[in-house]
Amino acid sequence: MTDEFIDYGKLVDRAMRSVLRDALEIARDQGLPGDHNFYITFETQKTGVDISPVLGAQYPEEMTIVLEHQFWDLDVTEDSFAVSLSFGGKRERLFVPYDAVTAFVDPSVKFGLQFGQEEGASIAQLESEDDDTNANEATADRTPENPAADLATGDGTVVALDSFRKK
């Protein structure tokens, strides 16, 4: 018997990143249908990430972007995506390899993916606590700190993202 093994964590991670890519391709080709909106969190210092020095200084480790109403020139490739967003009224072009992405959330359908190098990816069904929670509307102009980080706790418990849902 050999010490080699199949790394299922990496296989799942790669498959889940293809879900992200496919969702971005739909947004590129058809726009975002209905109330869909994407929160994408990525490591800003990861090899291949290209953001402006201003954004890099503001988000030195991790950044969450929102694709909802105002995004332009979405380009999706096999290994990365690029998009133009408005920050403080100024358009910025971002280039992000999929392996830099740490989380993908579409709160409109309570769906999220969390990526990790060592443990692979996980799918989370986001739960709502009640319908009276105040909604926090986020746009590309107002990027939240990191809503995807609340996707799951360290013990695997799924945490609600009601504050990011539209009412």
pLDDT in tens, 29-79: 999 988 999 999 999 999 999 999 999 999 999 999 999 988 999 999 999
pLDDT for 116 equals 76
User: How many angstroms separate the CA atoms of 71 and 140, rounded?
Assistant: 7
Q: Is 56:44 a contact under the CB 8 Å cutoff? A: yes
Give the start-to-end residue ranges of the domains of the chain.
Answer: 8-164
Average pLDDT, the chain: 78
Domain 8-164 belongs to what architecture? Roll (2.30)
pTM of the model: 0.71
